[in-house]
Structure 1
């Protein structure tokens, strides 16, 4: 088997989902499953973020002029629908089905045309960077696929090759690139500000909305960043990981 990982970098105003995720940098859209035939594409995605961001995601994917995975922007008339399967305050499960036309194409369709059946897809989308991981037969060549993909996305962004390597059976597990315990810059900033301004004192020296206003972010966004940072710290403590594996929030 062979692993091919690459990322699309969308320019502003070329993809509605990329534009939205750029506004909410902590929001992540990760595939749970993705299936393709010559005429159709259907997938299930797991979205995490603040409640405000999730509301915006639902609105964007249900009102866009074209399906977000379609690489063609020239009068695409494919029929598609996106539905919410499950929803909580911080997570969203989306189901999408797309019936393409002859003028439409997508990464899974390009892969099907160049490599045939039996492919495995994994995606992670944050901001304007949409990363794909493909598991392919070991004897395929990638140059024609890469050229076709580069030509399709030329007007909207670029393609960044992350890695190409042979993959043993014990390495086929799908990984979450954001599963590390290291805090994101936004989480680190929120946690430092909370500690410095007495948010964790008893009683609190500052409330969430005041702290959020001082940082210039919505209150829901600050609450989400603090919860994610606290969760990572808790996991590190319970699993007895050294706190040096996290950002040093005491500096």
Structure 2
């Protein structure tokens, strides 16, 4: 039974992703964001449980990626599809027509996020460099960024953010860029807890503490800036340290 505890946590990640997917198809992207966040919470702890119980296994590694493919790959792709499809109602303000812009095809560009996530997860499983850190933006971080967009648009008081995220060209750029940054040769530090000692997890704990404070102060609006800060901080650490993360 002890060996199955991490796998059970991973399956809770998958279940959360499936629930999020139902809400995303139903165009309830705020609830989809909530369930993706729940899935990522379980994803954060399954590896920790496996290391703590000393029951890590190849099965757990594969199961983790399969669950992430749904929660952090398929769901953000569907969410971006929904966002692009809805802009069709107001596309005249962007000087595009049905023939040149939509043709019922452009919303499907959102699924490039899913394709990029699939490639990212497959590379992660065979890349021995990613045992203690990441190469490219992790799919959970990218999923949080994508799913935060519709929540920000429905809750923010800043009109400029609404204007930015309701622009179809911006959403298409975000879709393509997210697929790129997930697969870029960019070393990023790991956020997962590696042990019980504070010294082994100092960077992760400090960063996560800053994230909590930012979320309390700025709520959902903080999410894109947290992801950007994560990438920037990793680049700074790589430039200033003697070795790559």
For the superposition of Structure 1 and Structure 2, which TM-score range results when normalised by the shorter chain? under 0.3
* Larger fraction in strand: 1
Q: Which structure is larger by alpha-carbon Rg, 1 or 2?
A: 1
Structure with bigger RCO (C-alpha 8 Å, 6+ apart) = 1
Q: TM-score, normalised by structure 1?
A: 0.26
* Larger fraction in helix: 2
Q: TM-score, normalised by structure 2?
A: 0.27
